[in-house]
Amino acid sequence: MKEVINPPVRNIEDEEYHINIGPQHPSTHGVLRMVVSIQGETVKSLKPHCGYIHRGIEKMCEKDTYQQIIHLTDRMDYLSAHINNHVVCLLVERALEVAVPERVQYIRTIVDELTRIASHQLWWGCFGMDMGGQTCLLYGMRDREKIMDIFEESFGSRLLHSYYTPGGLMGDIHPNFQKRVKEFITYFRKKIHDYDNILTGNVIMQERTKGVGILTKEEAIDYGVTGPIGRASGFSCDVRKYHPYGVYDKVDFKEILGTQGDTFSRYMMRMHEMRESMKILEQLIDNIPAGDYSAKMKAVIKLPAGEYYQRVEAARGELGVYVVSDGNKTPYRMKFRSSSFSNLSALDHMSRGFKIADLIAIGGSLDYVIPDIDR
Amino acid sequence: MKEADFRDNDTLELFKHSGGNILFTTIDAIMDWGRANSLWPLTFATSCCAIEMMAAAAPRHDFSRFGMEVYRASPRQADMIVVAGTIVNKMAPVLKRLYDQMPDPKYVIAMGACAVSGGPFFYNSYHVVRGVDHIIPVDVYVPGCPVRPEALLYGVMQLQRKIKLETLTNPRKTENLQ
């Protein structure tokens, strides 16, 4: 007679279960793949898999001259394209000790801030859409088009401009530039009020974001989280304040710090940043000094042999570039310290213990750009 | 030259106007009208062109005038895939699988220089698929880096013209690239 053995009772609630989110998933903002280990609906751990859009930009930089590298940096963090250009230009100018005309510095600062606003507008739209409100995307994109118009008029393209060159700018700004920027500020001051009415004050949104995805100040520093996400945790890390470039040392703006470090706090940080950026724009736009739009540079740029590091504040945090030069016209090694990559590393820690739906909200508040992570 | 060798819309439209199947012309017209005006794209975007694709869907350019506003997150519900951005070697099998999961008839728009040919990453790179047509058959190529939303709209309208040339007796044949 066969002995009947009872199979062990499986308690499904105790079992861990792995699901793949991505690479094709609308809320990963690109092609990020996350292997999420869940128990029931609660996230136990999360492993991001990178490389689905690794284009080898750092390696390609080793074959390109410094003027050509500018065009590749555009395509890293395409939402803050100007700021990416800025970091390479600053590095080359600092290494060669070129005095950049003041007009260039003013224009660069203004354009950087416009880029930051455009990036945050898009983030606001995407964040709203991740939470289930498509109206936000339509509103955010509508206002972003105003900035795209300004860019197109002066720089000739909408998204990737390659407007900065080592030593200056590609060309001068359009005569309408100042008028258009002022019009935009008056327009957007009204519209950002709408943003608050639609999403910030929304009870459902607040319930889903307050107390979710908490990152403390110490953890933010440990993970190297910068930008609005670091500041939401109370980590004062604004490169514009600590290592001023452009004319940030001449303008008056606040570095707003949060205390909670949750998703809602990160949301509010970007809303505040948009207002601060408009404040910077208002101070600068009437005071652009006359002068050349570029310093005199040699046609072939050769950095002296050595190591260089330069950082700027991109829309997502600190963007650094590290160059080892052996005296040739191309760098020997180029390394980008992208903000999205460090910010992503904290996602595992932030989302543990929360639900899958919260993971989407936390990811939305991180605002990662995948080509910036993979490069 | 055989009829199938012609790839441009103008010639194909001439063929269609000059002769068709008498029995099915009305059915063809209704079928094509429905198909061409309800192209549902898959939410698939890898890099910079994605932003311009979103801009095309946003109020200024408004995709939905052409019946494309319903972005589907699942390939099983999508008619069309807009390959917006660079496809690298690691992503290529994923893209192929997404394409295979879509129900027939399915269409592909290669959006941007990267999807057309590898774009700015063509030279000195070790990781980039030099043109998405190495993996899946492409119907419309839209060049640009990044593509302007207007250019994408034009590409979509070209695809709609192409769809309107399909007939019951001469349906679209899905090429099988291996």
**Contact assignment for A56 to B128 by CB distance below 8 Å:** yes
> How many Å apart are CA B169 and CA B28, to the nearest integer?
9
Task: Give me the pLDDT at residue A117, please.
Answer: 92
A92 has a pLDDT exceeding 50: yes
- Spatial distance between the Cα atoms of A222 and A349, rounded to a whole number of angstroms: 12
Q: Is residue A25 part of a domain?
A: no
Q: What is the pLDDT of residue B177?
A: 47
SS3 content of chain B, % helix, strand, coil (to 5): 45, 10, 45
Residue A208 lies in a domain: yes
| DSSP 8-state symbol, B130 | S
CB-based contact B55 A145, cutoff 8 Å? yes
Q: Report residue A205 as tokens.
A: 């949104």
CB spacing of A24 vs B128 below 8 angstroms? no
Would the CB atoms of A52 and B90 count as touching at under 8 Å?
yes
| Residue pLDDT, tens place only, A96-112 | 888 888 889 899 999 99
Residue A12 is assigned to a structural domain of this protein: no
pLDDT value of position B178: 45
Of B50, B51, B121, the CB nearest to A55: B121
pLDDT tens per residue, range A169-223: 888 888 888 899 999 999 999 888 888 888 888 888 888 888 888 888 888 899 9
Q: Do B124 and A79 make contact, defined as CB atoms within 8 angstroms?
A: no
| Among the listed residues B139, B95, B145, the one whose alpha carbon sits nearest the alpha carbon of residue B121 | B145
User: pLDDT tier at A50 (50, 70, 90 boundaries)?
Assistant: confident
* Residues of chain A with C-beta less than 8 angstroms from the C-beta of B46: 30-31, 52-53, 370-371
ipTM given for this complex: 0.82
pLDDT digits (tens, 9 = 90+) for B81-112: 988 888 888 888 988 888 888 888 888 999 98
Residues of A in contact with B148 (CB under 8 A): 158
Nearest to A24 among B48, B52, B98 (CB): B98
A2 DSSP assignment: P
| Residue A25 C-alpha, separation from nearest chain B C-alpha, in angstroms | 7
**In chain B, where are the structural domains located?**
40-152
Q: How many Cβ pairs within 8 Å bridge chains A and B?
A: 106
B94 closest CB neighbour out of A23, A64, A137: A23
Chain B residues with CB-CB distance to A under 8 A? 42-48, 50-52, 54-55, 57-60, 71, 73, 75, 85-86, 88, 90-91, 94, 98, 120-121, 123-128, 145-146, 148
- The Cα B151–Cα B56 span in angstroms is 9
Does some domain include residue A98? yes
Nearest chain A Cα distance for residue B87, angstroms? 7
Tell me, what amino acid is at A357? A
Residue A279 in 3-state DSSP? helix
Here the contacts of A130-134 (C-beta below 8 Å, separation 24 or greater) are A130/A27, A130/A360, A130/A361, A130/A363, A130/A364, A131/A199, A131/A204, A131/A205, A131/A208, A131/A209, A131/A360, A131/A361, A131/A364, A133/A198, A133/A199, A133/A205
DSSP B165: T
Considering the domain boundaries, does residue A344 fall inside one? Answer: yes
Cβ of A26 within 8 Å of Cβ of B127? The answer is: no
Q: State the nearest Cα–Cα gap between B47 and chain A, in angstroms.
A: 6
- Measured in angstroms, the CA of A57 and the nearest CA of chain B are apart by 8
As a whole number of angstroms, the longest Cα–Cα distance in chain B is: 56
Q: What is the mean pLDDT of residues B15-27?
A: 67
- Residue of B127, B129, B147 for testing the chain A interface, max A β-carbons within 10 Å: B127
Q: Which two tokens stand for residue A323?
A: 């160059």
Distance in Å, alpha carbon of B173 to nearest chain A alpha carbon: 26
Q: What are the helix (H) ranges across chain B? A: 9-18, 25-36, 49-57, 92-101, 112-117, 149-163
* C-alpha atoms less than 13 angstroms from C-alpha of B73 in its C-beta half-sphere: 10
Q: B146 vs A25: CB contact, 8 Å cut-off?
A: no
Given the structure tokens 């394409």, which residue do they identify? Answer: B99
Among the four given CATH numbers 3.30.590.10, 3.40.630.10, 3.40.50.12280, 3.30.420.40, the one describing domain B40-152:
3.40.50.12280
| Domain span holding position A172 | 54-374
Which residues on chain A are in Cβ contact (under 8 Å) with B42?
24
Amino acid B18: pLDDT: 63
Kindly determine whether residue A142 and residue B59, on different chains, have CB atoms separated by under 8 Å: yes
Query: How close does chain A come to B19, measured CA to CA in Å?
Result: 43
Q: Chain A residue closest to B88 (CA)?
A: A53
Helices within A156-288 (DSSP H only): 177-195, 203-209, 217-223, 227-232, 239-242, 263-285
Nearest residue on chain B to A118, judged by CA atoms? B51
- Taking contacts as CB-CB distances below 8 angstroms, the residues of chain B near A122 are 51, 54
- Checking A347-353 for CB contacts under 8 A at 24+ apart, the result is A347/A34, A347/A46, A347/A48, A348/A45, A348/A46, A348/A47, A348/A48, A349/A215, A349/A219, A349/A223, A350/A213, A350/A214, A350/A215, A351/A43, A351/A46, A351/A213, A352/A43, A352/A44, A352/A45, A352/A46, A353/A42, A353/A43
Instruction: Read off the tokens for A365.
Output: 């508040």
Q: What is the DSSP string of A103-149?
A: HHHHHHHHHHHHHHHHHHHHHHHHHHHHTT-HHHHHHHHHHHHHHHH
| Contact call for residues A320 and A336 (beta carbons, < 8 A) | yes
Nearest Cα residue in chain B from A368: B47
Looking at the domain assignment, is residue A224 inside a domain?
A: yes
Distance from CA of B88 to the nearest CA of A (A): 6
- Locate all alpha helices (DSSP H) within A38-101, ordered by sequence: 57-61, 66-74, 81-96
Please, is A275 exposed, middle or buried when counting C-beta atoms within 10 Å of its C-beta (0-12, 13-18, 19+)?
A: middle
For the cut 50, the answer to whether the pLDDT of residue B123 exceeds it is: yes
Whether A30 sits inside 8 A of B50 (CB atoms) is yes
Name the H helices within B58-111: 92-101
Q: Give the whole-angstrom CA distance, residue B81 versus residue B101.
A: 11
Task: Say whether A371 and B48 touch across the interface (CB within 8 A).
Answer: yes
Question: Could you tell me the CA-to-CA distances from A85 to A80, A90, A285 in Å, in that order?
Answer: 9, 9, 21
The H or E element that residue A17 is part of is: strand A17-21
Using pLDDT thresholds of 50, 70 and 90, give the confidence band for residue B19: low
Q: Does A29 map to a domain? A: no
A33 pLDDT tier (thresholds 50, 70, 90): confident
Segment B108-118 shows an average pLDDT of 88
What CATH number is associated with residue A344?
A: 1.10.645.10
pLDDT of res. A74: 87
pTM beyond 0.80: yes
Tell me how long chain A is.
375
* Nearest chain A residue (CA) to B93: A52
